[in-house]
């Protein structure tokens, strides 16, 4: 397994380079223009000068190599200089966003806290409620608990967040006036009062997203549990006189986790990608909002860097999932 | 004991068994009936309720439920019932076809990668690539490359339909592929597969007879979730200009358009929301029933 | 009359004496588009220009009536007061002597000269370069006097350094940020030192700006607010909700929402909706050239006239079939007026010669088409010589625009014109990517709809958009403002005449004549003169909505109503 992990990690490097190239080509091919959002009162020749000043005059392979150099050489050097307080990066150009004219990585770092707080927490909450619901629904298949669980999760998944988010705002912010409708990203938690405010502004976006995630994960958990509950080994375990709790939680659950692990591992990179719609609805302004407005503004350095970071996470977490398969089911071999 | 029955009975009665089990599953039966009802409504509804969903009766705008407009009208005075029916036609067709495409593609890739180790690496890295591609630019590129071609070959409506189904299918098969592969990896090491392999069953037969039936339930779940996903994604596509023309109603669009009017006319979001949820629920119950019916261990109980 | 004036004056006096800088605490503003940068020269986006207008100020600006008022300048230079040369080739600005930057240093003519050079640097990619057109030199005559010299007579010299788009930057701060280095100055671009009422304490790009009162602001009693939060992001509906319904914010910008939705929110009683009109006109552009895909590269170029839209009768009939009152009612309410002009304001330039279009006349439109030989076919679509009146009508994705499309499609169906609707993502439609088939400039459709306006109060540059030869075509990389591909010698002659004319009445006559020419040729079909709609909390006083400049132009006067 260790050998497999090392081999996969090494293989990930050319994979990621290839992915970065494909993303770059795709972004270049996609129609769009960094000056599209400027008012029509700005004449076309001025827009053309802006495009040239952004480096769009260069041919594509130069721009790609430039980005590679900026991202893989200059950015790490810059981080090193920050850490060691030595000037290693010198005059090296970092990856600069076209929209804000500032280093892309700084903005991403600035956005991480609210994304992790809201989207990350909602994922944790989602998983935490999905697993027990899935297990109980399967164990007591067709009980009232199962029926309600099925109904809620199906409605939760099929009603999009652009609707549930607005519904919650109308009920809890407008009608009841309990919760703020706009997330304050400048809020610093330093005492009890600010902590309460932070919790208040997080409740709605976290709940909307958690419902959506839980709906999906609990369905896979339930289905997989059902598959395993009727296997011979369960009968054997029960026949051996093991307690029901042990049978379910140790034997059945472990064997049922493979699809669930897959889904969760696919979901974690998505946490870092933010939740585009929910972030927009609640004005959380995390990484999801950053990605969508950068795409709308054709801010290619930003989109390229963000997408590439997601790609790294996707490759990494899929590797984690593959390793977990081996732990959950030792019979699985990769060769 | 059930296995003995199966063994001696002719193949046709196996499907009888499946049907029998399916029928006795109450949820599945209700789900199935409801789904048929939706299909009939969207297929033949326009013949019964003959108002043109695109006809604007500006004097009747924003009206509530009445005999002339059982579900009310929208901000331009278009009949909501007619729009829900017409929207369902598109949404159900797009939802089911795109889901089938994505699940078939996902299952195929997943089985291939999980069962044949030599395909595993390349196919899964390919999947990683697709997971990593930013969706919006990908869609814009697809519009640019294929819209006008399809429009001229197949006409505006069927061209757009095929494009949408392909776009949704191509951008959503990866999860199914990863899930199926994970399950296949585990199942192909189980005793019954090893046993079957040791008696020389060819791989294709092994996959169809032994692997596929055992990974059916995650596929069913993916399929159910996939329909909901496809219906919502379709509405997002129309904002990019990739979807159907803006006056062409679909459930996702109706829901989005009426969200602004949530406070004044809450019933307007209710109908498309309900239609999507109920369709997905009915497919879910059908999937449950089908899975139970195809599982010989449950079927006997 | 006099007592009232006196009462008002004393009231104003009382409030200004009582007020003290920062005494009204905190004000919060929400823009549903988030500012990316606080340097308007590096981004032409409205959100960026308006947010930086809290900090940076120009020499002069337009007030809410559209009149030029001096801001950092002591007075508006004119030919009469000698500020503008008699031959119209230069303008001399005199600065106020009481202006300090927020770091305490005085504003000098050097700063003004630097700002002009900063934008005119060829490597800087300055977004406001068009405002500096025709400028040959900008010189400091002394510490507080600046002369701008033009390459010829410039009848309207108030473009550069006037208005929120071209405010004065501090030379000391931006000295090392000129040309190619401009984008690297993150700290400067995110925290410019200004002369305005506020200064930045924290800037998070595309998210939120925190500001505090400028301690060196020229009026010691202003601004009334000590701190400002400027939040960006979301959508117009949620911004409106935050001001009108939940009261979390004090001011929300540009609320383009269906009028009944907005009215319903206003009824919650927490705030008021305000609107004002500039020159923005939502219009249909008619493609005078053939967008047939079979033409390949020659699609939508002047080599191939449009098969039926080159017939003026068809264009006129399309306009007559539209009921503009209803469009306003559905889409804009108080924030729109039906219009028949592409130059709807200022008043001196507004023509009344085309007002006949305000009344929908389906029958007359049908008759017009009948007379022109377009006979109704069996399928309800008119045709002549095998050419069917079948239109592809495109616009950007936006709820109001899609409603307009649906309505207009139905009206056109009534006169026998078939319409296919298409909506496109705004970032593609308004983008100039020559590789995309869907830009408004390429115009691979028969009709398209969008809104456009002109900056300031003079339409000369705007009317110049429809000069011959400015049509987008392959050899200009599909760039060019003449979207309908219009070309008329008579029109171009009027334009040349206007560029030589300084007299305002004569300019107005020429402007109207050109507007009427465009309208009576039906190369554009104006629909709605659109206003700006914003909302403020009832407790926020001093808001004067200004469409000629930044909406936040008078933020120094904003205060809490007690």
Q: What is the 3-state secondary structure (H, E, C) of A213-231?
A: HHHHHHHHHHHHHHHHHCC
Which pair of tokens denotes residue A134? 């899935």
In three-state secondary structure terms, C421 is strand
Going along chain C from its start, the domains and CATH numbers come out as: 1-55+196-270+538-562 (3.40.190.10), 277-470+524-531 (3.10.105.10)
Lowest mean pLDDT among B76-90, B152-166, C61-75: B152-166
Residue C274's beta-bridge partner residues?
C534
Query: Which of A259, A317, A320 has the most B C-beta neighbours within 10 Å, making it the best mutation to test the interface with B?
Result: A259
Q: How far is CA B59 from the centre of its chain?
A: 38
Angle at B198 between CA B197 and CA B202, to 5 degrees: 40
Q: Is the model's pLDDT at C18 over the cut of 60?
A: no
With a cut of 60, say whether residue B9 has pLDDT above it. no
Calculate how close chain B gets to A82, using CA atoms only, in Å: 30
Minimum Cα–Cα distance from C323: chain B residue: B58
CA–CA min distance B176, chain A (Å): 9
pLDDT score recorded for residue C224: 92
Chain C closest-CA separation from residue B176 CA (Å)? 30
Which of A223, A267, A276, A333 should be substituted to probe chain B, the one whose Cβ sees the most B Cβ atoms within 10 Å?
A223
DSSP element (H, E) containing C232: strand C227-232
pLDDT interval class at C256 (50, 70, 90): confident
Q: Which residue of A has its CA nearest to B296?
A: A230
3-state SS of A142-187 is CCHHHHHHHHHHHHHHHCCHHHHHHHHHHHHHHHCCCCCCCCCCCC
Return the sign of the alpha-carbon dihedral for residues C492, C495, C500, C505.
Answer: positive
A248-252, B151-155, B227-231, B241-245: the lowest-pLDDT one: B241-245
- Interface contact flag, A169 C439, Cβ < 8 Å: no
Mean pLDDT, rounded, for A8-29: 89
Q: Which residue is closest to C258 within chain B, CA to CA?
A: B260
Are B261 and C261 an interchain contact pair (Cβ–Cβ within 8 Å)? yes
Is the ipTM reported for this complex over the cut 0.90? no
State the average pLDDT over residues C231-248: 89
- Name which of A33, A107, A281 is nearest C432 (Cβ-Cβ): A33
C87, C148 Cβ separation under 8 angstroms = no
Cross-chain residue pair B140–C428, CB shorter than 8 Å: yes
Q: Is the pLDDT at C548 greater than 70, yes or no?
A: yes
- Measured CA to CA in angstroms, residue A115 lies from A21, A120, A294 at distances of 27, 7, 16
* Partner residue opposite B133 with nearest CB, options A23, A31, A334: A23
**Per-residue model confidence (pLDDT) at position B194:** 87
pLDDT in tens, A226-249: 888 878 888 888 888 888 888 888
Give the pLDDT confidence of A71-108 residue by residue, as tens digits: 888 888 888 888 887 776 667 788 888 888 888 898 99
Q: How far is A106 from chain C (nearest CA, A)?
A: 10
User: Over 80: is that where the pLDDT of A7 sits?
Assistant: yes
pLDDT of the residue at C9:
43
CA distance B191 to chain C (A): 55
Mean pLDDT across B25-45: 88
Per-residue pLDDT, B5: 41
Structure tokens at C465: 């958009």
**Cβ-count burial A204-231 (b if 16+ within 10 Å, e if not):** bbbbbbbbbbbbbbbbbbbbbbbbbbee
Q: Which residues, in sequence order, are bridge partners of residue C90?
A: C149
Q: Is the pLDDT of residue C118 over 80?
A: yes
What is the arithmetic mean of pLDDT over C514-528?
A: 94
CB contacts < 8 A (A, C): 188
* Mean pLDDT of the region C295-318: 91
User: Which chain C residues are within 8 Å of B148, Cβ to Cβ?
Assistant: 293, 437
The whole-angstrom separation of Cα C168 and Cα C112 is: 6
**CB spacing of C421 vs B247 below 8 angstroms:** yes
pLDDT over 90 for what percent of chain B? 17
User: Which domains, from first to last, does chain B contain?
Assistant: 40-60+70-294 (1.10.3720.10)
* Residue C346: exposure state from Cβ atoms within 10 A (0-12, 13-18, ≥19): buried
Integer Cα distance of A310 and B202 in angstroms: 40
Omega within 30 of 0 (cis) for the link into C223: yes
CB C174 within 8 A of CB C114: yes
How many C-beta atoms surround the C-beta of residue B262 within 10 A?
19
Rounded-to-integer distance, Cα B231 and Cα B276, Å: 8
pLDDT recorded at residue A89: 66
pLDDT value, residue B3: 40
Percentage of chain A lying above the pLDDT 70 cut? 99
Each residue of C447-477: pLDDT tens digit? 999 998 887 778 888 998 999 988 888 888 8
Written as six digits, the tokens of A173 are 């912010």
- What confidence tens digit (pLDDT) does each residue in B79-126 have? 889 999 998 988 999 999 999 999 999 999 999 999 988 898 899 999
Question: Rounded distance, CA C161 to CA C175, Å?
Answer: 18
Identify whether the C-beta of residue C200 lies closer than 8 Å to the C-beta of residue C35.
no
Min Cα–Cα distance to chain B from A88, Å? 32
Residue C1 pLDDT > 50, yes or no? no
Which pLDDT score is estimated for A125?
Answer: 93
**What is the C-alpha end-to-end distance of chain C, expressed in Å?**
27
| B76–C330 CB contact, under 8 Å | yes
Interface test with C, best of A91, A275, A283, A288 (most C CBs within 10 A): A283
- The shortest CB-CB distance from B247 to any of C330, C405, C425 is to C405
Q: CA C11, C15, C21: angle at the middle one, nearest 5?
A: 165
Angle (nearest 5°) at CA B189 between B188 and B192: 80
Mean pLDDT of chain C: 89
At residue C520 the predicted structure's pLDDT band, cuts being 50, 70 and 90, is very high
Q: What chains are in contact with C, requiring at least 3 Cβ pairs below 8 Å?
A: A, B
Query: Higher-confidence residue: A296 or A131?
Result: A131
Mean pLDDT of C96-106: 93
Q: Output the pTM of the full model.
A: 0.85
B296 band by pLDDT with thresholds 50, 70 and 90: low
Neighbour count for residue A86 (Cβ, 10 Å): 9
Residues of B in contact with C428 (CB under 8 A): 140, 240-241
In angstroms, rounded to a whole number, what is the distance separating the alpha carbons of residues B119 and B109? 9
Rounded to a whole number of angstroms, the distance from the CA of C274 to the nearest CA of chain B is 20
Report chain C residues whose CB lies below 8 A from the CB of A186: 202, 204, 208, 210, 229
Backbone angles phi, psi at C560, to 5 degrees: -85, 130
């Amino acid at each position: 397994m260790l050998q497999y992990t090392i081999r996969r990690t090494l293989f990930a490097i050319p994979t990621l380079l290839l992915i970065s190239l494909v993303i770059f080509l795709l972004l270049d091919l996609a129609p769009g223009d960094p000056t599209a959002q400027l008012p029509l009162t700005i004449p076309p020749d001025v827009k053309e000068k802006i495009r040239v000043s952004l480096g769009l005059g260069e041919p594509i392979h130069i721009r790609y190599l430039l980005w590679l150099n900026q991202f893989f050489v200059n950015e790490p050097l810059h981080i090193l200089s920050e850490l060691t307080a030595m000037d290693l990066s010198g005059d090296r150009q970092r990856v600069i966003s076209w929209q804000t004219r500032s280093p892309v990585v700084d903005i991403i770092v600035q956005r991480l806290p609210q994304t992790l707080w809201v989207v990350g927490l909602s994922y944790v909450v989602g998983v935490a409620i999905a697993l027990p619901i899935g297990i109980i629904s399967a164990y007591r298949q067709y009980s009232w608990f199962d029926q309600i669980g099925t109904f809620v999760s199906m409605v939760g998944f099929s009603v999009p967040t652009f609707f549930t988010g607005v519904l919650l705002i109308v009920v809890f912010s407008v009608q009841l006036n309990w919760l703020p409708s706009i997330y304050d990203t400048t809020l610093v938690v330093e005492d009890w009062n600010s902590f309460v405010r932070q919790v208040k502004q997080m409740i709605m976006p976290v709940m909307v997203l958690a419902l959506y995630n839980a709906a999906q994960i609990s369905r896979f958990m339930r289905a997989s549990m059902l598959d395993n509950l009727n296997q011979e080994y369960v009968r054997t375990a029960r026949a051996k006189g093991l307690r029901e709790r042990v049978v379910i939680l140790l034997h059945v659950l472990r064997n049922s986790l493979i699809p669930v692990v897959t889904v969760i591992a696919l979901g974690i990179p998505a946490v870092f990608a933010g939740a585009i719609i929910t972030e927009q609805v609640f004005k959380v302004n995390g990484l999801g909002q950053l990605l969508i407005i950068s795409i709308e503004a054709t801010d290619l350095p930003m989109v390229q860097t963000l997408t590439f970071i997601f790609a790294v996470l996707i490759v990494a977490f899929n590797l984690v999932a593959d390793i977990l398969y081996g732990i959950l089911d030792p019979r699985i071999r990769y060769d | 004991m059930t296995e003995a029955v199966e063994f001696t009975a002719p193949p046709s009665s196996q499907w009888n068994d499946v049907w029998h089990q399916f029928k006795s599953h109450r949820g599945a039966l209700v789900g199935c009936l409801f789904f048929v009802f939706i299909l009939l409504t969207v297929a033949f509804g326009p013949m019964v309720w003959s108002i043109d969903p695109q006809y604007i009766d500006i004097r009747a705008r924003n009206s509530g439920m009445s005999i002339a407009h059982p579900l009310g009208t929208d901000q331009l005075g278009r009949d909501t019932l007619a729009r829900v029916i017409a929207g369902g036609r598109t949404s159900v067709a797009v939802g089911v076809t795109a889901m089938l495409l994505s699940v078939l593609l996902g299952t195929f890739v997943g089985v291939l990668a999980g069962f044949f180790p030599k395909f595993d690496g390349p196919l899964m890295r390919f999947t990683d690539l697709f997971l990593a591609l930013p969706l919006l630019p990908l869609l814009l590129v697809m519009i640019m490359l294929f819209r006008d071609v399809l429009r001229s070959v197949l006409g505006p409506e069927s061209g757009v339909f095929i494009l949408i189904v392909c776009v949704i299918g191509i951008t959503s098969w990866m999860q199914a592929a990863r899930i199926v592969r994970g399950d296949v990896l585990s199942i192909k090491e189980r005793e019954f597969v090893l046993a079957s392999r040791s008696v020389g069953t060819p791989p294709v037969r092994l996959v169809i007879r032994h692997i596929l039936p055992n990974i059916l339930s995650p596929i069913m779940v993916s399929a159910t979730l996939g329909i909901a996903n496809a219906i919502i994604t379709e509405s997002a596509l129309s904002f990019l200009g990739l979807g159907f023309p803006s006056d062409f109603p679909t459930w996702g669009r109706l829901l989005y358009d009426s969200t602004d009017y949530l406070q004044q006319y809450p019933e307007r979001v209710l109908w498309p929301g309900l239609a999507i949820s109920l369709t997905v629920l009915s497919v879910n119950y059908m999937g449950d029933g089908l899975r139970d019916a195809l599982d010989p261990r449950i079927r006997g109980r | 009359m006099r007592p009232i004036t006196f009462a008002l004056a004393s009231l104003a006096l009382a409030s200004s004496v009582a007020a003290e800088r920062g005494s009204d605490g905190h004000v919060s503003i929400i823009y549903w588009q988030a500012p990316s940068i606080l340097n308007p020269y590096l981004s032409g986006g409205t959100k960026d220009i308006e947010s930086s207008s809290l900090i940076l100020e120009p020499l002069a600006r337009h007030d809410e009536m559209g009149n030029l008022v001096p801001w950092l300048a002591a007075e508006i230079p004119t030919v009469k007061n000698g500020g503008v040369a008699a031959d119209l080739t230069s303008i001399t600005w005199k600065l106020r002597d009481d202006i300090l930057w927020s770091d305490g240093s005085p504003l000098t003519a050097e700063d003004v000269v630097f700002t002009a050079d900063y934008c005119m640097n060829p490597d800087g990619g300055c977004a406001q370069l068009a405002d500096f057109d025709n400028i040959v030199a900008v010189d400091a005559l002394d510490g507080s006097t600046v002369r701008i010299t033009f390459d010829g007579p410039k009848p309207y010299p108030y473009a550069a350094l006037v208005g929120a788009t071209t405010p004065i930057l501090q030379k000391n701060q931006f000295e090392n940020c000129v040309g190619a280095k401009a984008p690297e100055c993150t700290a400067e671009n995110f925290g410019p030192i200004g002369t305005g009422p506020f200064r930045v304490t924290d800037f998070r790009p595309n998210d939120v700006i925190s500001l505090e009162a400028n301690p060196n602001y020229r009026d010691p009693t202003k601004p009334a607010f000590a701190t400002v939060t400027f939040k960006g992001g979301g959508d117009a509906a949620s911004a409106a909700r935050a001001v009108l319904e939940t009261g979390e914010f004090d001011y929300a910008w540009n609320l383009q929402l269906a009028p009944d939705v907005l009215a319903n929110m206003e009824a919650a009683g927490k705030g008021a909706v305000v609107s004002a009109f500039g020159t923005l006109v939502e219009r249909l552009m008619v493609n005078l050239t053939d967008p047939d895909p079979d033409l390949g590269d020659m699609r939508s170029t002047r080599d191939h006239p449009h098969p039926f839209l080159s017939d003026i009768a068809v264009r006129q009939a399309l306009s007559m079939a539209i009921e503009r009152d209803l469009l306003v009612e559905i889409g804009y309410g108080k924030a729109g007026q039906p219009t028949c002009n592409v130059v709807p304001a200022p008043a001196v330039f507004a023509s009344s010669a085309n007002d006949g279009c305000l009344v929908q006349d389906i029958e007359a439109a049908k008759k017009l088409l009948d007379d022109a030989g377009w006979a109704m076919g069996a399928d309800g679509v008119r045709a002549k010589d095998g050419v069917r009146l079948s239109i592809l009508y495109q616009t950007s994705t936006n709820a109001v625009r899609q409603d307009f499309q649906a309505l207009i499609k139905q009206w056109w169906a009534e006169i026998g014109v078939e319409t296919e609707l298409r909506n496109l993502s705004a970032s593609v439609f308004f983008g100039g990517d020559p590789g995309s088939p869907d830009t408004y400039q390429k115009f691979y459709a028969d009709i398209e709809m969008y809104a456009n306006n002109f900056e300031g109060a003079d339409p000369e540059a705007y009317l110049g958009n429809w000069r011959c030869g400015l049509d987008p075509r392959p050899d200009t990389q599909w760039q060019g403002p003449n979207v309908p591909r219009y070309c008329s010698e008579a029109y171009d002659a009027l334009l040349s005449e206007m560029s030589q004319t300084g007299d305002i009445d004569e300019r107005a006559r020429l402007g109207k004549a050109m507007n009427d020419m465009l309208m009576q040729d039906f190369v554009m079909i104006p629909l709605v003169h659109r206003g700006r709609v914003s909302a403020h909390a009832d407790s926020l006083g001093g808001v004067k909505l200004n469409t000629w400049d930044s909406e936040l132009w008078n933020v120094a006067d904003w205060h809490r109503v007690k």
